[in-house]
């Protein structure tokens, strides 16, 4: 498609957009009395208007039924999490038995590493990407120390080549081959939070497993954003948060995937809890743990229903829309934003650089923009002008044109505000 940097063209794209109606399903903040242009769905998604009804339902059941809500609520709390299995399996490409919801993201990754990071004196190294999200770095460091290793000996980072912003697939595969028989675990973010680079999950998973390691993925920036087939790709495990692209609310519950090939392996270590115990026998209070044969067997405590209610509202919306439709618009609106940025850059003469890969298969719903000759003051200008974006040191702004609620006219308007901001700083 040949794009134009005009309001009329952007409005024409919006008129043809089959997902445009979902924009009205969300609450937008306002700045100076005007609805914002919201680019931070990769940090915290907007609140769906339907969320309140889901929370109110739980509150009403709690008020009217108290403890009996576990069994007699319209959506009984006893099996509330089971409602996520079918819609989540479509979002991340799994069998329903392979996914569940519980805890929060880093907690779940720690729990999963109990099962899938079982180092030996000879096979003890973890492979991750350079500049992984800090929580992942801290988690991995603490896990290797827990097993008696030093991070500098056990953690292997795949680095970017000098002068490049993204990690090459061939360098990942070469590093796996280099570490070889010492490799215990590959644990990478499916989408890099800083650059927006999408990794080849299938290829890396196969390479890691061929080397004799388990392979897991932090899908915080991938779930609800990219097409995945975790089951068919034979990924060992994965976890993701729900408050970014899936709009479940700040710090909310995490999703978990464990491949069915591990469901009946009772020799895998795990930190057990009663909610992971055989559902039919859970209330017999038996002394010996008998895990549910599925991802739910990794659950520990009963679920925070008030937290799950907003997440359920969101996954049911995703089920209505479907990932193919979301990805189709994601690709188009991200490409249009990229076009707008290049057009504005021509007008202001080289003030920024997009560091996210240009290949569609290597990026999703994020463009990270490196500002040349501009600093935090431009970010502050954008925020005051009603563009909610994200600043990362030293001078990168991250833009996520989320397809459920961003419009093409937003992209055009952002370009004009960005140009005004840069030109005003030149004066």
In the chain, residues under CATH classification 3.40.640.10 are 53-321
How far apart, in whole angstroms, are the C-alpha atoms of residue 113 and residue 294?
17
Whether the CB-CB separation of 183 and 211 falls below 8 Å is answered with yes
What pLDDT is attached to residue 374?
67
- pLDDT for the residue numbered 427: 57
For 9, the token pair is 């063209």
Annotate 53-106 with DSSP letters as a single string.
HHHHHHHHHHHHHGGGHHHHSSS-GGGGGGGGHHHHHHHHT--GGGEEEES-HH
DSSP per residue, 236-267: -EEEEESSSTT---TT--EEEEE-GGGTT-TT
Would you say 372 and 422 are in contact if contact means Cβ atoms under 8 Å apart? no
The terminus-to-terminus CA distance of the chain in angstroms comes to 36
Q: Which residues of 89-119 are buried (b: 16+ CB within 10 A; e: fewer)?
A: bebbbbbbbbbbbbbbbbebbbbbbbbbbeb
288, 90 in Cβ contact below 8 A?
A: no
- Token pair of 414, please? 């952002």
Token readout for 151 is 């991070």
Token pair for 303: 């679920």
Portions of the chain given CATH number 3.90.1150.10: 7-35+322-426
- In terms of Cα–Cα distance, which of 256, 211, 202 is closest to 234? 202
**Cα 76 to Cα 73, 173, 294, distances in angstroms:** 5, 47, 21
Residues 6+ apart with CB under 8 A from 95: 89, 231, 260
Confidence (pLDDT) at 282: 86
In CATH terms, 7-35+322-426 corresponds, of 3.90.1150.10, 1.10.10.10, 3.30.470.10, 3.40.50.2000, to: 3.90.1150.10
100 forms beta bridges with 256
pLDDT value of position 65: 98
| Helical (H) or strand (E) element with 309 | helix 305-321
Q: What pTM does this model have?
A: 0.95
Reduce the DSSP state of residue 270 to 3 states and report it. coil
Q: Do 396 and 386 contact (CB within 8 A), yes or no?
A: no
Q: Which fold would CATH assign to domain 53-321?
A: 3.40.640
Average pLDDT along the chain, 427 residues, taken 10 residues at a time? 96 98 98 96 98 98 97 96 97 98 97 98 97 91 97 97 96 98 98 96 98 98 98 98 97 97 95 92 89 96 95 97 97 97 90 90 95 80 95 90 98 96 76
Greatest C-alpha distance within the chain? 75
Please report the pLDDT score of residue 426 as a whole number. 62
Cβ proximity of 196 and 398 under 8 Å: yes
């Amino acid at each position: 498609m040949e794009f134009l940097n005009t309001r009329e063209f952007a409005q024409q794209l919006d008129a043809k957009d089959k997902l445009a109606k979902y924009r009205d399903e969300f609450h937008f903040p306002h700045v100076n009395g005007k609805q914002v242009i919201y680019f931070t769905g990769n940090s915290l998604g907007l609140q769906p208007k339907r969320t309140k009804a889901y929370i109110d339902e739980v509150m009403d059941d709690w008020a009217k039924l108290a403890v009996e809500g576990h069994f007699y609520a319209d959506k009984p709390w006893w099996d509330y999490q089971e409602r996520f299995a079918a819609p989540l399996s479509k979002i991340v490409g799994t069998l329903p038995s392979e996914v569940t919801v519980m805890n929060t993201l880093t907690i779940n990754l720690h729990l999963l590493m109990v099962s899938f990071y079982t180092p030996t004196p000879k096979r003890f190294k973890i492979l991750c990407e350079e500049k992984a999200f800090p929580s992942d770095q801290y988690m991995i460091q603490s896990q290797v120390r827990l097993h008696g290793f030093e991070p500098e000996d056990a953690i292997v980072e795949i680095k970017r080549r000098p002068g490049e912003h993204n990690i090459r697939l061939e360098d990942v595969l070469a590093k796996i081959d280099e570490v070889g028989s010492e490799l215990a675990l590959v644990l990478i973010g499916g989408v890099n939070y800083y650059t927006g680079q999408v990794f080849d999950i299938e290829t890396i998973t196969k390479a890691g497993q061929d080397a004799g390691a388990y392979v897991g993925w932090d899908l915080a920036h991938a779930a609800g954003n990219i097409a995945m087939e975790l089951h068919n790709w034979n990924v060992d495990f994965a976890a993701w948060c729900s408050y970014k692209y899936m709009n479940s609310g700040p710090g909310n519950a995490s999703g978990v995937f464990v491949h069915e090939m591990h469901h009946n392996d009772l020799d895998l270590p795990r930190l057990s809890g009663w909610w992971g115990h055989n559902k039919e026998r859970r209330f017999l209070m038996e002394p010996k743990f008998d895990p549910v044969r599925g991802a739910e067997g990794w659950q520990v405590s009963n679920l925070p229903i008030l937290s799950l209610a907003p997440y359920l509202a969101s996954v049911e919306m995703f089920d209505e829309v479907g990932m193919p439709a979301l990805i189709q618009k994601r690709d188009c609106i991200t490409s249009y934003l990229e076009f707008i940025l290049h057009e504005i850059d021509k007008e202001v003469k080289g003030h920024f650089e997009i560091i996210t890969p240009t290949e569609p298969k290597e990026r999703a719903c994020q463009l990270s923009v490196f500002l040349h000759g501009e600093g935090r003051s431009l970010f502050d200008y954008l925020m005051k002008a009603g563009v909610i974006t994200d600043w990362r040191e030293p001078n990168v702004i991250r833009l996520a044109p989320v397809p459920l609620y961003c419009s093409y006219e937003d992209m055009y308007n952002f370009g004009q505000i960005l140009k005004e901001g840069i030109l005003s700083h030149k004066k």
